[in-house]
Amino acid sequence: MPPFSVAVDDTIAAIATPPGTGGIGVIRISGPEARAILARLFHPTRRSGADFESHKLHHGWICDPASGARLDEVLAVYMRAPATYTREDVVEIHCHSSFVILRQVLDLVFAAGARPAEPGEFTKRAFLNGRIDLTRAEAVLDMLAAKTARSLDLAVASLAGSLHTAVEQVRDVLVEVGAVLEVAIDFPEEEAEIADPLSLGRRIQEHVCVPLADLLAAGRRTAIYRDGVRAVIAGRPNVGKSSLLNALLREERAIVTAVPGTTRDSIEEYLDIHGVPVRLVDTAGLRQGAETVEAIGIDRARRHLAEADILLLVLDGGEPLTDED
C-alpha cells in the first residue's frame, strides 16, 4: 500500500511526446474517466479490443463521436490502476505524430470529459498517490533535462532509489536514537544508564553527520553534471574568440573574418566535456568607442561575464598586451 494517497475526481490529458513531426505522438490520459473516454473515441479493428484488456495494445481508429469521422489510425492501451505511473487508470493513444492530428484527438479527449494537465501534473499525481517520493520525482525531471550521458546516469540512479535509500538509512538511525532518548527521559530512575552520551554521539557522528556531509558533497557534484557550467569566451576584437569556439565545437558555428567587430551578438552552444555540460558563450569583442550596434553586443558581453562560471580570456600571442586586454 502507498504511504498516503489523494482522492482525485477529475481526469487529465496531455500530449506526452515532444512537439514536431515524427513517427509516433502519444496522448496520455489519467484519472477515473480514462477508460470511459477511450471507449467513446476508439473503434477497435477487432471485437476483442473493445474489452480493453489492461496493459495490452489495441489497433483501431479514433473517431469523432458527433460526426463519426475518422481522425487517425492508432494503437491504444488501457492500463488499470494501481499498476500505472500515476496509480490511477491510465490510457495512452499512439497517433501519427502530426501536430494537427494530435491537437484534434486531444480536443476530442477534452470534449469527452478530461481537462488539460498542468505542467508536471502526471508526476505530481504519482507523488501524491505514493507511486514515487520527492527524490524520484526530481529524478524524472533531471532525466528529461539531461544534457550528457553522465547526467542521465546520475538521474537514473536517483530514480532507482539511490538518494532515497541513503536518506532513509540516516532517518532510521535518528529514529532509533530518538527512541533511546525518550526511554531515558521517561525512566530517569533506572540505575543502568540507558542512554550513553558518548556512544550516542559516536553513532550520530558516524551514521548521521558523515553520511549527510557525503550526500551534500555528492549533491554539489551532481548539480554540476545536471546544470552544467557557463564558460564565457571574452577578449578584445579580432583576437580569435570565434575561432576558439569553432575549434572547441569542431564545426564552423561562428563567422570568422579579419575585420574587427565581426561578432556583434552572443553565440551559445553546449559542449560535453567528460560528462559535464559546458555552455560556451562567444561574445562581442570588448573595446571603447564602438558604433551603436556593436556597443549593444558589448553590453550583452559584459552581462554574460557577470554570470560566468568560467572565463576564457583570449589574447593575441603575436602582439603585446594593450589597454583593452
- Tens digits of per-residue pLDDT, 237-261? 878 788 888 888 887 776 655 555 5
Cell of 114: 478530461
pLDDT tens digits, residue range 145-204? 888 888 888 888 888 888 888 899 999 999 999 988 888 888 777 655 677 888 888 999
Q: Whole-angstrom Cα distance, residue 325 to residue 322?
A: 5
Q: Which of 97, 131, 165 is the last residue of a domain?
A: 131
Count of the separate structural domains present in the chain? 3
Can you give the CATH number for the domain in which 98 is found?
Answer: 3.30.1360.120
Residue 80 lies in a domain: yes
Q: What is the pTM of this model?
A: 0.65
Point out the domain boundary residue: 225, 248, 278. Answer: 225
Are 108 and 181 members of one domain? Answer: no
Asked whether residue 235 falls in the same domain as residue 263, the answer is yes
Burial class (CB in 10 A: 0-12, 13-18, 19+), 93: buried
Pick from 225, 256, 277: which residue ends a domain? 225
Between CA 125 and CA 123 the distance in angstroms is: 5
Pairing state between β 56-63 and 70-79: antiparallel
Average pLDDT, rounded, for the chain: 85
| Co-location of 29 and 127 in the same domain | yes
Output the DSSP codes for 31-49: STTHHHHHHHHEEESSGGG
Strand partners, 92: 28, 77
Task: Note whether residue 259 is domain-resident.
Answer: yes
Domain that holds residue 291: 229-313
Which of 38, 113, 45, 36 lies closest to 73 in space, CA to CA?
Answer: 45
Same domain, yes or no: 196 and 239: no
β-pair partners for 43 = 61
- pLDDT per residue as tens digits for the range 274-319: 888 888 888 877 777 666 676 777 788 888 888 888 998 888 888 8
- The answer to whether residues 186 and 290 belong to one domain is no
Q: How far from the centroid of its chain's Cα atoms is residue 8's Cα? A: 25
Distance CA 323, CA 317 (A): 15
Residue recorded with cell 504511504: 3
Same domain as 104, residue 28: yes
